Amino acid sequence: MTRKSMEKVVFLDRDGVINRYPGDKLYVTSVKKFSFLPGAKSAIAKLSKNGFKIFIASNQAGVGRGIYAKRTLEAITRKMLLEVEEAGGKIDKVYYCIHRKDAGCSCRKPKPGLLKNAAKEFKFDITRSFFIGDTIRDVITANRAGCKSILVLSGKEKLANQKNWEVQPDFIFKNLKSAANFLMLNQGRFSTQSKSVPR
């Protein structure tokens, strides 16, 4: 697979972007508790059909903390992938960090390890990719990886906190559906300097 064929790449955080945010310091601990956000599956399907490669990059420290088992995380992932596929979309690979915060790993966001691993494995230019997340930690991760950041307001972060953010995202949208529409309409027509809030 050549770099040219992999230019359209989107990273997605999971909780608060694809599925409902479980709440601060809480985790999705079972398949039953995994619930897609409205429009998320169709947004992924549209991106897939428009030639975007899609990767999940998500911290799931609940495994490392013993709150839920790795096999439970795997079952949740299978459900997510199956329902996305049934909706006409495709997630090319899921990258999780299951380590505790104090583990000292290189993959726990805001470290860029998950994103860099994907770029190395699939051989694409990470600077031409986007990371859609629901936290400022995701924005910092994007910055450290060298890709463009999109913050969605469907999860943890709220626009009312903007004055306290450590960094500003390149773009801000209500949800994944709005962000996906923007990417499909404007691919290649903007720069990371925009720091804009599209309406």
The residues assigned a catalytic role are 13, 15
How far is Cα 109 from Cα 98, in angstroms, rounded to an integer?
A: 11
Alpha-carbon torsion, ordered 171, 175, 181, 182, to 10 deg: -10
CB neighbourhood size of 44 (10 A): 28
The two tokens of residue 171 are: 């773009």
Phi, psi angle pair for 45, to nearest 5°: -60, -40
Burial class (CB in 10 A: 0-12, 13-18, 19+), 105: middle
First to last CA, the chain: 36
Per the listing, tokens 């910055």 go with 143
Spatial CA neighbour of 17 closest among 109, 111, 103: 109
